[in-house]
Structure 1
Amino acid sequence: MPIVRKTNRKGLRNSRNFNRTKSAEQNYSLYEMFEQFMNYKQTEGLAKPTLEQYYEHLHYLSDFTGGDLSIEEITVETFRSYIGFMLQEKKVAPTTANVRIRTIRAFLRFCFQEGWIDEPIHEKFKPVKTPEIQIEAFTPTEIKAMLNGIDDTRFVGFRDKVMIYTLLDTMVRISELLKIKRCNVDLKSGQIQLEPHETKTKRARLVPISVKTIKLLKEYIRETEDFGCETLFVTYDGRPIVSNTWRRRLTELGEKAGINNKRVSPHTFRHTGALFYIMNGGDPFSLQKILGHTDMSMVRRYIQMSDTDIKNQHKIFSPWNRVFKNSR
Structure 2
Amino acid sequence: MGRKHGIFSIQSEEVSISTKKKAVKRNGITIPQALETIYQQMRIAGNRSRTIESYDYIFNQFVRYNKLEYVEDITADSIYDYLGSLEVAQQTKLIRLKSIKAVLSKFHNNGWMKQKFWSTIQVKIDKEIKKGAKANDIEKLIELIDQNTFIGFRDTVAILTMYKTGIRIQTLGELKERHVDYENLTLNLDGSILKNHKFLKLPIDQELADLFKVLIKQNKKIRSYYNTKNTNIIITQNGLPISNGRTSNNAISKQLNKYSKRFGLENINAHAIRRGYAKKLLEAGASIAIISKALGHSDLAVTTQYLDLDVEEVAKDLREYL
TM-score band by shorter chain is 0.7 to 0.9
CA contact (8 A) 1:109 1:120 kept: no
CA contact (8 A) 2:166 2:277 kept: yes
CA contact (8 A) 2:165 2:202 kept: yes
Check if 1:125 corresponds to 2:120: yes
Check if 1:290 corresponds to 2:294: yes
TM-score, normalization: structure 1? 0.76
Structure 1 residue runs without a partner (length 5+): 1-24, 319-328
- What is the SS of the residue equivalent to 1:207? strand
Q: How many residues align?
A: 285
Q: Which residue of 2 aligns with 1:220?
A: 215
Amino acid at match of 1:27: G
Q: Which residue of 1 aligns with 2:263?
A: 257
Q: Sort the Cα spacing of 1:306 and 1:171 in 2 relative to 1 into closer, same or farther, 3 A.
A: farther
Q: Which residue of 2 aligns with 1:41?
A: 42
Q: Which residue of 2 aligns with 1:52?
A: 53
Which one of 106, 110, 127 corresponds to residue 110 of structure 1?
A: 106
- What is the SS of the residue equivalent to 1:304? coil
- What is the SS of the residue equivalent to 1:134? coil
- What is the SS of the residue equivalent to 2:308? helix
- What is the SS of the residue equivalent to 1:240? coil
Amino acid at match of 1:247: S
Check if 1:182 corresponds to 2:183: no
Amino acid at match of 2:304: R
Which one of 237, 242, 245 corresponds to residue 251 of structure 2?
A: 245
Across the aligned residues of Structure 1 and Structure 2, the Cα RMSD in angstroms comes to 2.9
5 Å matches for 1:154-165? 154-165=149-160
Amino acid at match of 1:104: I
TM superposition shift of 1:273: 1.0
**Cα distance between partner residues in 1 of 2:275 and 2:305:** 10
Determine which structure has greater relative contact order: mean sequence separation of CA pairs < 8 Å that are 6+ residues apart, divided by chain length.
Answer: 2
Q: Sort the Cα spacing of 1:170 and 1:46 in 2 relative to 1 into closer, same or farther, 3 A.
A: same
**Cα distance between partner residues in 2 of 1:47 and 1:251:** 26
CA contact (8 A) 2:158 2:252 kept: no
For residues 17-73 of structure 1, give each alpha carbon's deviation from its aligned partner in whole angstroms, at most 9, with x where no partner exists. xxxxxxxx95213332222222222222222221111111222222332231363x3
Q: After the TM superposition, which of the residue ranges 271-280 and 225-234 deviates more from structure 2?
A: 225-234
TM superposition shift of 1:304: 3.3
Check if 1:142 corresponds to 2:142: no
Amino acid at match of 2:254: R
**Cα distance between partner residues in 1 of 2:208 and 2:280:** 16
For residues 135-185 of structure 1, give each alpha carbon's deviation from its aligned partner in whole angstroms, at most 9, with x where no partner exists. 132223321221111122233322221111111011101110111111210
Q: Sort the Cα spacing of 1:174 and 1:253 in 2 relative to 1 into closer, same or farther, 3 A.
A: same
**Cα distance between partner residues in 2 of 1:293 and 1:163:** 21
CA contact (8 A) 2:129 2:308 kept: no
For residues 186-226 of structure 1, give each alpha carbon's deviation from its aligned partner in whole angstroms, at most 9, with x where no partner exists. 12212101122211122221122134323333443454455
Q: After the TM superposition, which of the residue ranges 38-47 and 213-222 deviates more from structure 2?
A: 213-222
CA contact (8 A) 1:171 1:270 kept: yes
Structure 2 residue runs without a partner (length 5+): 1-25, 225-229, 244-248
CA contact (8 A) 1:142 1:257 kept: no
**Cα distance between partner residues in 2 of 1:164 and 1:104:** 34
Q: Quick check: which has more Rg, 1 or 2? A: 2
CA contact (8 A) 1:171 1:273 kept: yes
Amino acid at match of 2:65: F
Q: Which residue of 1 aligns with 2:12?
A: none
TM-score, normalization: structure 2? 0.77
Q: Which residue of 1 aligns with 2:6?
A: none
Q: Sort the Cα spacing of 1:125 and 1:246 in 2 relative to 1 into closer, same or farther, 3 A.
A: same
Q: Sort the Cα spacing of 1:58 and 1:188 in 2 relative to 1 into closer, same or farther, 3 A.
A: same
